[in-house]
Amino acid sequence: MSGAQIDLSAVNDDSVDSGVAFGGELLAFTNAVMARDAAAIVKTRDAVEGRLGAEGVTDAAAVIAMFNVVDRIADATGIPIDEGFTRDMRYAIGDELGMGHLSPEERAIR
Amino acid sequence: MSQIDYSSSKYPIRKDLSDSHQRMLESFSRSGTWWTGAERRAIASEARAARDCGLCAERKAALSPFALDGEHAGPGELAREIVDVIHRIVTDPARLARSWYDRVMAQGLLNEERYVELVSVTVLINSLDVFARAIGIQPAPLPAPTAGSPSRERPATARTEGAWVSQIPAGAEGGEDWAALYGDRDEVPQIGRALSLVPAEVAMLDALSGPHYMNLAHVGDPSYTEPGRALDRLQMELVAARVSAINECFY
């Protein structure tokens, strides 16, 4: 990617520094939107705006909205993980995040 | 016609983003491929209500999502079984399973084409509302339904592959169906093919992907970021990964 070192465990653990610029602010905003916590949304949105500008808020909101689409389509249609490099990468990331129990193969036979 | 209006937002909304939202909003009340405009609007209304449904909250907290029965809170304009499908997709998608999908199909109220279109409408209205919540504005009202009949056109090449629903097969096997959607691309990520049984919904997803994230054709290139964005690729992927983790979505 960019050569930057990132810590994937930050995706599931707020105490971990992801290594991504202003990652803490972005994750806190994401948490607040997903939790539908109005007060937290205002507070964390201000923090994102302070670091990344008003456009940063818009772009973060757009990504949050888009992945609520992607995740639900994947879950509701039972698509498999793509083959090749993407498959290896997804499973490696899934294992690191402790999400192996949600693999499409297991959901397909449940 | 109801309009997307972000003029009250303190955040600048790119025109490509607001245009994609307007297109989405209008689609909810227009006749689709398998549902009428009134039915699509009813699906969107129900999906919007699911977020505040008490039964869904109880189910989400339950050990098994199928242990509790009851009435969903919502407009209830559609058959009870269809309402249940919509609410589950909105509020507990990670616990949908093949056995559940098979039971839904066995009920006979939905065929796979109608199911795929229902999934699309449900997830799109949800995303529109998530965006509104994130930037602090009220969700746009749904437009009144427009007249028209569903085209009921199923891609001739569609068949069951790895997903629960049929898809247009990749490349030459997909023939004109594939070319009409994906041009000369040999491969498309599964997420870009999931709705291909209803090509109009793939076109909608494609139109949203660029303004919200990136064009699906670029997803496989980890160095790519859409020009003019305030977030770089790493920042976008971090946000995306957190959303998927909260949604417990492996994909």
Chain B, nearest residue to A36 by Cα: B133
Q: Which two tokens stand for residue A24?
A: 């803490």
On whether residue A69 sits in a domain, the answer given is no
Q: B212 and A65: CB-CB below 8 Å?
A: yes
| ipTM for the whole complex | 0.96
- B134 → closest Cβ in A21, A41, A86: A41
Q: For the ranges B22-36, B124-138, B237-251, which has the lowest average pLDDT? A: B237-251
Q: In B, residues 53-82, which contact A (CB 8 Å cutoff)?
A: none
Reply yes or no on whether the pLDDT at B84 is more than 90. yes
B199 has pLDDT over 90: yes
Tell whether A87 is covered by a domain: no
pLDDT at A88 over 60: no
Whole-number Å distance between alpha carbons of A65 and B75: 24
For residue A6, being part of any structural domain is answered with yes
State yes or no: pLDDT of B215 exceeds 90: no
CA B173 vs CA B59, B138, B158, B177, B192: distances in Å: 42, 45, 10, 9, 17
| B198, two tokens | 């209803």
- How many domains is chain A partitioned into structurally? 1
Exposure pattern of B237-249 as b/e (b: 16+ CB <10 Å)?
bbbbbbbbbbbeb
Give the pLDDT of residue A2. Answer: 44
Is the pLDDT at A99 greater than 70? The verdict is no
For B93, the closest of A29, A42, A75 (CB atoms) is A75
Q: Whats the size of chain B, residue-wise?
A: 251
Average of per-residue pLDDT across B71-93: 97
pLDDT digits (tens, 9 = 90+) for B43-52: 999 999 999 9
When CB atoms are compared, the residue of B101, B123, B162 closest to A73 is B123
Q: Is residue A2 domain-resident?
A: yes
How far is the C-alpha of B90 from the C-alpha of B79, rounded, in Å?
17
Q: Residue A10 corresponds to which tokens in the numbers above?
A: 């930050």
pLDDT tens, position by position, A2-28: 455 677 788 888 888 889 999 999 999
Find out whether A45 and A29 touch, Cβ atoms under 8 Å: yes
Residue of B201, B200, B204, B206 whose CA lies nearest to B188: B206
A42 with B209: Cβ contact below 8 A: no
Does residue A104 lie within any of the structural domains? no
Write out chain B in H/E/C secondary structure: CCCCCCCCCCCCCCHHHHHHHHHHHHHCCCCCCCCCHHHHHHHHHHHHHHCCCHHHHHHHHCCCCCCCCCCCCCCCCCCHHHHHHHHHHHHCHHHCCHHHHHHHHHHCCCCHHHHHHHHHHHHHHHHHHHHHHHHCCCCCCCCCCCCCCCCCCCCCCCECCCCCCCECCCHHHHHHHHHHHHCCCCCCCHHHHCCCCCHHHHHHHHHHHHHHCCCHHHCCCCCCCCCCCCCCHHHHHHHHHHHHHHCCCCC
| B127/A68 touch (CB, cutoff 8 Å), yes or no | yes
Average pLDDT over every residue of A24-53 = 98
Distances B203 to B119, B180, B193, B209, B210 between C-alpha atoms, Å: 14, 10, 11, 10, 12
Rounded to whole angstroms, what are the CA distances from B122 to A27, B50, B83, B95? 25, 10, 11, 16
The pLDDT assigned to A92 comes to 59
Residue B236 near residue A3, CB atoms below 8 Å: no
Tokens of B107: 């009920």
Q: Residue B123 and residue A76: Cβ atoms within 8 Å?
A: yes
d(CA B238, CA B241): 5
B126-185 residue pLDDT tens: 999 999 999 999 999 999 999 999 999 999 999 999 899 999 999 889 999 999 999 998
CB contact under 8 A, B240 and A36: no
Q: What is the mean pLDDT of chain B?
A: 94
Q: How far is A7 from chain B (nearest CA, A)?
A: 10
Arithmetic mean of pLDDT, B6-25: 95
Give the domain range for residue A30: 1-57
Cβ-contact A64, B247 below 8 angstroms: no
Those residues with Cβ within 8 angstroms of residue A92's Cβ, 6 or more apart along the chain or in another chain: none
Measured in angstroms, the CA of A11 and the nearest CA of chain B are apart by 5
Does residue A85 belong to any structural domain of this protein? Answer: no
pLDDT of residue A102: 56
pLDDT confidence band for A1 (50 / 70 / 90): very low
Residues B156-159: contacts with CB within 8 Å, 24+ apart?
Answer: B158/B196, B158/B197
Q: Is A92 on the interface with B (CB under 8 A)?
A: no
DSSP state of A110: -
Is the CB of residue B89 less than 8 Å from the CB of residue A72?
A: yes
Residues of A in contact with B213 (CB under 8 A): 62-63, 66-67
